[in-house]
Amino acid sequence: AQTVTQSQPEMSVQEAETVTLSCTYDTSESNYYLFWYKQPPSRQMILVIRQEAYKQQNATENRFSVNFQKAAKSFSLKISDSQLGDTAMYFCAFNAGGTSYGKLTFGQGTILTVHP
């Protein structure tokens, strides 16, 4: 079974600074997908960024980027120029591909607070 671990229950950062959220996962699959989702106080789940395991290049979406280390099974999220609107719970998620039929396994989440 696949597992996803987020070791930082809470993080805080000052506005305009950079913060990195950690995520590790465990799988025996060779091809899979990784995601970061954001859940603001509204509780809506929003896809932030995704990474395909067979692509070596790290994904980037505006101020959000990932550091994907396949051998280490690590998938961290870097938020640059943090904004107050980035305050949210962030979930790392894994999809094994193949016969998993798209089922996502989520980590326990990291609460990020951006301070003015």
Partner 1 sequence: DSGVTQTPKHLITATGQRVTLRCSPRSGDLSVYWYQQSLDQGLQFLIQYYNGEERAKGNILERFSAQQFPDLHSELNLSSLELGDSALYFCASSVDQGRGYTFGSGTRLTVV
What does the binding site for partner 1 look like in residue numbers (CB under 8 A)?
33, 35, 37, 42-47, 50, 52, 91, 93, 95, 97, 100-109
Between residues 16 and 46, which has the closer beta carbon with respect to partner 1?
46
Between residues 86 and 109, which has the closer beta carbon with respect to partner 1?
109
Between residues 44 and 69, which has the closer beta carbon with respect to partner 1?
44
In Å, the largest CA–CA distance within the chain is: 45
The structure tokens 């989702």 sit at 37
CA atoms within 13 A on the CB side of 82: 22
DSSP class of 59:
P
